[in-house]
Structure 1
Amino acid sequence: MYRISELAQLTGLARSTLLYYEKLGLLKGRRLDNGYRQYDDGDLQRLRLLQALHRGGLSLKECLQVLNEGIDRPLLQQRLAELTEAISEKQQAQRLLQALLGQAPDALREFHIEMAQQAPEAQTQWLMAQGLDETGALQLRWLSKDLHQHEQYMNDFLHIFAPLDHHGPGTEQDSLWALSQLPQAPRRVLDIGCGPGNATLLLANHSPAEVIGLDNVAQSLERLEQRAQQQGLADRVQSCNASMTDIPFAPASFDLLWCENSAYVMGFEATLRQWRSLLAEDGYLVISDLVWLTPDPEPDLSAFWQREYPDMQQEQHRFAQCQAEGYQLVASRRLGRAAWQAYTQPLAERLEQVEAELPHSRAVAELKQELPVLERFEGQFSYVIMVLKPI
């Protein structure tokens, strides 16, 4: 026989809880002549069974029902489904916390990919609050996707691309075609996201314009300056280390804005909207973007680009966005095989050179995984160059 205090000690339940159980009919003690409650071994065992059922997610009322009437299968199936969902949510929470602590790199990349799709501006601000500048935050969003390994990733990435002139698909013929669509030669040009300066130097070589190459990677701008000096263009080519999200020039400063392969950094619609004020009257914008050429791409390609460029759209959708933002589409041109090979072949050769030097580099591994995807572009996706005029 047990007093209520002894029963509480044996079950780990508070005295007040046992009294509440009595009130609900879950427990039936006997009151002695002296006023004390008394319980027997049957009460103890019933309480332990009750505790086990309660741990299974049943409410006290449901526990009483099971104890008195037997197993209710639909009820247990419902509770099992709820518990399974709760466990899944807890596991996701655990995985996220492990990721943020640097204990689950794959989960951290998944988190950054998801946030880049769902909350890009908030993600950038959060990354900057972690100590990254805007350049680092954008590079993490689009490249490393790993807050803890970002510095090493970017060191490897920049080392890979240091000697390469092509940081994206394109040929001189494609750029000259776009330049030929303008009604007159430009006088002042801003090449946004210029990289090592392929388009910057071409524009200076094939027009009388003063050309400014803008990028936020110092290594790329240094290479641009070296190449401009070598080609005798230093007097008409300048470099500007700045972010395309905060271009440090007054409104109406340029009669031509040029942006090959990098509008995705800000988002295509945002570039059309924010850069327009930089154009002088009768100015033009030449911009390229990665688009789908088919409504039914292969599933693995669709999944790849959903991770890497979630805002990738059909070609006609991009044209409609230009019109909606107040631009006339003067001309457009899809990049062909030569443009892709100009980028992928030197990159493949460079990766072979550095693979032994950087044996455990995630930047090397991811670029090697990307190359076979890019080789399957034909008929499914490509860059399209658009020559636009504000209206």
Structure 2
Amino acid sequence: MTTIFSKTATTLTPPFLVLGIESSCDETAASVLRYTKEDDIEILSSIIASQDEEHAPFGGVVPEIAARAHMQKIDYIIEAAINDANIEYTDLAGIAATSGPGLIGGVISGLLAAKGLALSLGRPLLAVNHLEGHALSPRLAAPCAFPYLLLLVSGGHTQLLSVNGLGDYTRLGSTVDDAAGEAFDKSAKVMGLGFPGGPNVEKWAAKGDPNSIPLPRPFKGKDHADFSFAGLKTAVARAWEASDKSDIAKANICASFQNAVGDVMRERTLRAIAMFKSLHGELAKRFVVAGGVAANKALRARLTELCDTEGLSLLAPPLKFCTDNAAMIALAGAAKLAAGDIDDLDVAARPRWPLDQRAASANPASGYGKKGPKS
């Protein structure tokens, strides 16, 4: 199948193939996706190269190391995705890549690779907002009609948004300081649990008593849907400093921390559900959780119980598509291509790119450096 795209065309009729490239943080990824319509999607390949080994000695992602690793890996990861999909480059209808938000060195690496392919193949470039990739990621597994309430929770983001349609988002709440995933990672670092921190905290939490350590629930009882995790993170550090540093202490602190995050998530989401229902009335039926922290099974269970209580259906991408991946970027790019929304080759990489630009401009949730690399 060879697809020729006319520069004068405004839309391209599906089905077609799109290559997605993701490099916004510490995962170098490429994926080929066949897009027939928004509820008919086939992932032909999804290749992810982790950088955990490179960053483990530092207990977190080092931007300079991440950028260098992306440059070293990006070409063969793309080639692996094409080979795994059993297609030729000329079969592609478009090239999608994360162009923000994220660690700027990594974003530039992936975006430059996409620009080179788009230019050499004569195919359109699709600059994708990384957050929109997460927002659409449940559609990688099953149909998910608009509108839906989205909890985007990861190492760089904790946001509640009303997803009204492609490119149409209303922010209902966000973190005023640290993201939930950053709190997981920093808590793990304090206790020496290793990197990546989130999965290690979850493992230790399974061995502990979730009610053993008194920890704060920031914004408890407040009449809004914003989050705060800086104080909780500090409380964990103090609890660890005061402990006997035993395995029992590790397990109990992890369990108590995870329980506190679950309480915060539930209460803030409950407030957002009320706001979402006021916006959409009878159409407010679906709740989506996405992002790396969405892989935490205990938090999923809490949110599932909340949705059952509130009469919403919970949709979440498979665990392998919760963390950063290129399939979600290919999907967002394919949706843009079907709508005729393509980008010029001079499109810039962006370290910051909120989904709801209007809300972010009117009420920025944090300043530089407050919420991690992808605020």
Does the pair score TM above 0.5?
A: no
Where relative contact order (Cα < 8 A, 6+ residues apart) is larger, the structure is: 2
Normalised by the length of structure 1, the TM-score is 0.23
* Larger helix fraction of residues: 1
Structure of larger gyration radius: 1
